[in-house]
Amino acid sequence: MKYSKIFLFVSLLTTLLFFAGCNRGPKMVKISGKITIAGETFDQGIVQFDPVDGATSSEGAKIKEGKYEAVVPPGEKIVRIRGTNIIGQQEMDPVLNPGVMVNKLKDVTSDKVHWASNDTKITVTKAATNVDIDFPPSP
């Protein structure tokens, strides 16, 4: 009986220490909103949120019909996007996949302004939910 109480105490203490150590890292915040370029939406793309201070991870999400939903750690973020509009259909590969049609895309972002730029920043708070982002037009 004496050993079973000691075993129970050690097991309980080990479990508590295990769960206390598992909750490390920043609390993540779910954000969503609209992404536009000079007020105009685009069909699809990706958005990346990079920490300004480099202390947390970069996170990304898909953009669909100008909207995104992402889970990111709080803090100041550099926002980068790549976006395309669907301008029609085209055959994927007439030799290997004849008759298979895919979307024909037009890039609406430029590498210089929207992907590599460090100019567009947002601050994600612990209570952030709706964060709309408007990028300047490409030069």
DSSP string, 46-110: EEEEEESSS-S--EEEEEETTEEEEEE-SEEEEEEEEEEEEEEEEEEETTTEEEEEEEEEEE-S-
> Could you read off the pLDDT of 78-129 as tens digits, one per residue?
998 888 999 999 999 889 989 999 999 998 886 555 565 557 888 898 887 8
**Contact predicate 62/70, CB 8 Å:** no
Least confident of 7-16, 23-32, 39-48, 125-134: 7-16
Residue given tokens 């480099």 in the structure block: 54
Domains of the chain: 25-135 (2.60.40)
More confident residue, 61 or 14: 61
The predicted model scores a pTM of: 0.72
Q: What is the mean pLDDT of residues 62-77?
A: 94
**Per-residue pLDDT at 51:** 93
**Per-residue pLDDT at 108:** 85
Least confident of 27-31, 67-71, 127-131: 127-131
Extract the tokens encoding 134: 């408007």
**Per-residue pLDDT at 55:** 87
> Could you read off the pLDDT of 40-58 as tens digits, one per residue?
899 999 999 999 998 889 9
What single DSSP character describes residue 130?
Answer: B
Looking at the DSSP bridge assignments, the partners of residue 89 are 103
